Structure 1
Amino acid sequence: MTPATASRRVIGTRDTHTQAQAPHPQALPIELIFAILEEAQYDDLVPKYKWIKNYALVCSAWSSYAQQLLYTSVAIHKGADQCKAFINALAAARNRDVEHAMALGASVRMLSMSLDHQDIYADVLDLCPNLRELHLVLYHACFRPEVLKRFAHAPPVRAMRVRTYHYMPLFQLLRAFVHLQFLEVDCSSVRDVTLELPPSPPPAWGLIELRYHSLRRATHIFVNWALSGTARSTIEVLRVTCPSFTVTELTNMGIAANLKSIVLHHLWETDDLSTFKSLRELALLYPCVPTAPSPTFRTLPVGVRHLSIHALGGRDAAQGMMAALSGYQERSGGSLRVLTYHRRSESTADLLFDAEALYTFCLQRGIEFRLMDPPFGYYAGERIPLEPFSSYPQDVPLSSRRKKLTEEALPWRVRREASLARRFVNAAGRALTGSTVPAMALARP
C-alpha cells in the first residue's frame, strides 16, 4: 500500500473497513488536514519526500499544500546543475500558474547548499524570499566580488549553519548577512594552518546564539571577532568546542552578565563564574578523569537549572561530582532542575556505578536525570534547533528508537504530550493495525 492510499484510508474516503469510523474529508476542516500532513510527513524525525509527493496525488484539495510542504526544505549539494534544476522547476510552475509558483518559492524556509564561486547560488537565494535558515558548505578558497554583492541583497536570513574548509570565504560570507541571530560555524575541517582575522569588524548583527566547533587550539579567536561588535549586548547562548577556550576568555570579552547558556570544555577550580548572573544552563564537554579534580561549582551563580556533564573517570570522580552537586543545591536553594549525563561505555571499571549513583542522587532530590549513553546516543534529527527558546534545558526532539530502548532498559524516561494532529494520526494507525500501513501513520514530528 502506498502512502497516498494509506492517507485515503486515514480520512476514510473509499474504504469499507474505516468508512464508519472516520469522517468524510469534507467534514474535516482543511486546516486540520494540513496539520495532519505536516506531522505525517516524518519518519522518525526525518521528512520523507516520497510520501509528500504521494500526498500531492490524493486530491486537488491536498495538491497545492503538499507541494508547498515539499518546498519547505530544499537541499542542493550537487553543484550548478542541481541549482538549474531547482530554478527550472519554479520556471515551469510559473508558466502554468504564476501565483502557485510564487507560493512555492515563498514556501522555502530552510535551504542547504554546497557552494563554490559561481553566482548561480545567489540566483537560488533570490527565489526564496521567506528563507529563515541557511545551511552552507564552503569548499572553495574565495568568493568573487560580484557574488558577494548579490549575497548582500539576499533575504534577511536569521539562522545559519556553515561548514568551511578555508577561513577566507567564511569571513567574506558572514559580512554579507547582517540579520543573523543564530549562527553555527564548523571549522573542524579547515585546511589552513593558522587563523588570521580580517581587518574589518563583523557586521552589526544582533547574535543571540553562537556555536563554534574547532579542535585546533588558538582558533577560538573567531569567537572574539564575531562578538566584538553589537553582539556583545545581545548574545545569550554560547557553545564553543575548542580546547583553548576558557572562562577567562569570556570574562575578558565583557559578555558574562548576558549569557544564559554556555558550553565549555572544562571548569577548573580557579575559574570564576560569579559574574555570570544570568546563567541558567552549563555544559561541560571534557570528561572528569582521575588525574584532574572534579569541579566544585564553588563560583557557579545561583539560578542554574540545567547542568550537562560528560564521562566520570571512576567511583572517586562520581562521588566527587555528587558532593559538588549536593553543595551547589544547598547553596542555591535547589535551583538545579535537570542533570544530563553523557556517559562513555569504557569510561569506568565500575560498570554502571557512575550512572546509577547520579540517578539515585537526582531521584532523592527531585532532579530530572537524563542519560546519554552510547547505545542510546544521538539519532538522526536529534539536535537543538537554531531558533528562539524560553526554557532550560532547550528542547531537543527525541527519536522513536530512543523511547523504545529507554523504556525497555532504563528506569527513567522522557514523556511528551502529543499534539491534536499527532493523536489523530496515531489513532488512525491503531485502527489500521494488521494491514500494510507504512510508517507514515506512526511517524514522529
Structure 2
Amino acid sequence: MDISNTSACVAEQEHIDAQNAAVAHLPPELVFDILSYVYYGNDGIVDKLSLKACALVQSAWAEMAQQLLYREITVTAYPSGYDDVVLRAPIAPYKERGKHLGEMVRSLDIPVGKGTPALSPESVVALLRSLPRLYNLSITIVEMHEFEPSTVHELKQLVQTAGPQIRSLRFRRSGILSPILYQLLSVWPSIRFLFVAQELAAAPPVDPPGFSLQELSLNRNLPFDALMWLLSNSADSLQLLDLRDVPGSELGKYLAMNHGHRVRSLRWVHYNRATAELVRGCSRLEEVVMYTLPPSIWDLTLPRSVEHLSFRNPPWAKSPTLTHVLNAIPKLPKLRMVTADAGVRDHPDGPILQRLCDERSIPLAFDGKPPWILDDPVMPDKFPRGRSVSNFRLMN
C-alpha cells in the first residue's frame, strides 16, 4: 500500500468535506443571491440547467432552487390522451408538495385549443385553479375560434373565489376574427400589462372595458376602434408603450394626444412621421428603446427628460452609422444609462459612443437579449426594467 497516496486521498476528502460543510452553512440570503445571479442568462432566458445543478449541491439549496424554477413554467405539446396535465404535473394540487409549488408559480405559458399540441379549455381551468398566485399568463390559441360561454363563466367564478388575479396577459396566434382576446379581458379586469402579438379584426365589445392598462405592447397595428376600446379606460394609467409595427399617422396622433402626457417608456421598431409625432407628444419620457435605428433622413429629437436610452442595430436592418445616438447623448441632461446589443461593441462608431458616455460618467451596457424576449411585466421605479429576480417582489 502506498501510504503517501492514501494520506493524499484522505486529505483531499477532508478538504471536500470541509467545503461541503461551509456551503451547507451559508446564510440563506447569500444562497438566494447566488441562485439569483445564475437565474437568467445573458439572453434573458431562465438558465434551468444551472438552477437544477445548484439544487444538487446541497439539500439546503434544493428548496430555494425549486422555488425559483417554478416561478416560470411552460406547458409544451401534450399528445392526445394526456390532457389531464394538471394531475400528472409536479404542481398537482392534491399533493401537499404540489400545492406548495403551485403557489410559487408567477408566470405560465400555455397552448390552448382543440389541436393536438394544445390543452383543452377544461384543463386550463383546472390548471389555473392550482396556481392561485399566478401573475402573468401567456396564451397561444390553437384551432379554436372562441371559448364556450360556460368556460368563460367558470373562469369568472374561479377569479371571484380563490383564483389568480392576473396582472399581465400575453396573447398569441388566434384567428384575426376571434373574440378570445376580449373574452379573456372580460375575465380579468385586474390586467394592467397587455401584449398582443397578432392582427385583430374582431369588433370590440359594446360595453367599456373594466381594466386600466399600464402597458400596451403591439406586434401588429390594431384597427382604430379596437385600439380605442382597449385604451378607453387608460388615459390616466398608460405609462409603457411598445410598438413593433409601422405606425400610421392616425395612431401617432391619437396616442400623442390622449396618452402622451403619461407615457414614461416608448419603444419602437420603425421610425417615421407618426413615430416622430408620438415622441414629440411624450414630454415626460424617461426611457426610449429603438429596436432599429432611424433612417438617416430623419432628425431624431428626444425629450430632455430621457434617463435611459437603449438601441439595437440588428443585422437585418444594420445602420452603418450611430449618428442619431451620438447626437442625442449630449442633448439629454438627465441621461444616466445607455444600453445596446452586443454587436455594437464592434461597430465603427463604437469608440465614439464609449467616449461620449465616459465623458459624462454614463454607464454603457451591452446585452444579448433579443427583442422577442419581453421585459418583466412590472412597473419600475427606474429604467431599465429588464428581467430580474428582484422584480419577483412586484409580482406577489
> Which TM-score tier does this pair reach, normalised by the shorter chain?
0.7 to 0.9
| SS of equivalent residue, structure 1 residue 108 | coil
Q: Label 1:30 to 1:81 Cα distance change in 2 as closer, same or farther (>3 A).
A: farther
Q: Label 1:130 to 1:183 Cα distance change in 2 as closer, same or farther (>3 A).
A: same
Q: Which ranges of structure 2 fall in alignment gaps of 5 or more residues?
A: 1-11, 114-119, 391-396
Contact 1:112–1:134 (CA<8 Å) still a contact in 2? yes
Matched residues in 1 for 2:229 and 2:21: separation? 59
Deviation of 1:105 after TM superposition, in Å, equals 2.5
In the TM superposition, 1:181-192 aligns within 5 A as 181-187=192-198
TM-score by length of 1: 0.66
**Please, what is the CA RMSD of the aligned residues?**
4.0
In the other structure, the counterpart of 2:271 is: 266
Is the counterpart of residue 388 in structure 1 residue 387 in structure 2? no
| SS of equivalent residue, structure 1 residue 233 | coil
Deviation of 1:123 after TM superposition, in Å, equals 0.8
In the other structure, the counterpart of 2:354 is: 359
In the TM superposition, 1:20-39 aligns within 5 A as 20-21=18-19, 23=21, 27-28=25-26
| SS of equivalent residue, structure 1 residue 259 | coil
Matched residues in 1 for 2:328 and 2:306: separation? 14
Q: Label 1:149 to 1:381 Cα distance change in 2 as closer, same or farther (>3 A).
A: same
- Equivalences, count: 353
Matched residues in 2 for 1:114 and 1:38: separation? 28
Q: 1:143 aligns with which of 141, 147, 170?
A: 147
Is the counterpart of residue 17 in structure 1 residue 15 in structure 2? yes
Matched residues in 2 for 1:220 and 1:176: separation? 23
| SS of equivalent residue, structure 1 residue 224 | helix
Contact 1:279–1:301 (CA<8 Å) still a contact in 2? yes
Matched residues in 1 for 2:312 and 2:51: separation? 39
Q: 2:173 aligns with which of 144, 150, 164?
A: 164
In the other structure, the counterpart of 2:310 is: 308
Contact 2:260–2:278 (CA<8 Å) still a contact in 1? no
| SS of equivalent residue, structure 1 residue 271 | helix
Q: Label 1:367 to 1:183 Cα distance change in 2 as closer, same or farther (>3 A).
A: same
| SS of equivalent residue, structure 2 residue 15 | coil
Contact 1:46–1:380 (CA<8 Å) still a contact in 2? no
Matched residues in 2 for 1:270 and 1:380: separation? 21
Matched residues in 2 for 1:234 and 1:145: separation? 30
Matched residues in 1 for 2:92 and 2:291: separation? 50
Contact 1:56–1:63 (CA<8 Å) still a contact in 2? yes
In the TM superposition, 1:23-422 aligns within 5 A as 23=21, 27-28=25-26, 46-48=46-48, 52=52, 55=55, 59=59, 68-79=67-78, 81-89=81-89, 94=94, 99-116=96-113, 118-139=121-142, 140-152=144-156, 153-154=158-159, 155-167=164-176, 168=178, 169-187=180-198, 195-201=201-207, 203-214=209-220, 219=223, 222-229=226-233, 231-245=234-248, 247-252=252-257, 254-264=258-268, 265-266=270-271, 268=273, 271=277, 273=279, 275-290=281-296, 292-295=297-300, 297=301, 300-311=302-313, 313-314=319-320, 318-319=322-323, 322-326=326-330, 328-329=331-332, 334-341=333-340, 352-370=347-365, 377-378=368-369, 383-396=374-387
In the other structure, the counterpart of 1:8 is: none
Instruction: Give 2:255's aligned amino acid.
Output: L
Contact 2:86–2:92 (CA<8 Å) still a contact in 1? no
Q: Deviation digits for residues 361-415 of structure 1, max 9, x if unmatched?
A: 333343333456xxxx4369964211231112324569xxxxxxxxxxxxxxxxx
71-80 or 178-187: bigger deviation: 71-80
Instruction: Give 1:307's aligned amino acid.
Output: L
Contact 2:54–2:62 (CA<8 Å) still a contact in 1? no
Q: Label 1:294 to 1:357 Cα distance change in 2 as closer, same or farther (>3 A).
A: farther
Instruction: Give 1:303's aligned amino acid.
Output: S
Matched residues in 1 for 2:57 and 2:170: separation? 34
Matched residues in 1 for 2:189 and 2:213: separation? 10
Contact 2:93–2:102 (CA<8 Å) still a contact in 1? no
Identity of aligned residues (%): 22
Matched residues in 2 for 1:35 and 1:366: separation? 28
Deviation of 1:221 after TM superposition, in Å, equals 5.6
Q: Label 1:237 to 1:52 Cα distance change in 2 as closer, same or farther (>3 A).
A: same
Contact 2:191–2:213 (CA<8 Å) still a contact in 1? yes
Contact 1:72–1:109 (CA<8 Å) still a contact in 2? yes
Matched residues in 1 for 2:366 and 2:242: separation? 20
Matched residues in 2 for 1:313 and 1:221: separation? 35
Q: Which ranges of structure 1 fall in alignment gaps of 5 or more residues?
A: 1-13, 346-350, 399-417, 419-445
Deviation of 1:335 after TM superposition, in Å, equals 1.8
Matched residues in 2 for 1:38 and 1:63: separation? 14
Instruction: Give 1:105's aligned amino acid.
Output: G
TM-score by length of 2: 0.73
| SS of equivalent residue, structure 2 residue 14 | coil
Contact 1:41–1:49 (CA<8 Å) still a contact in 2? no
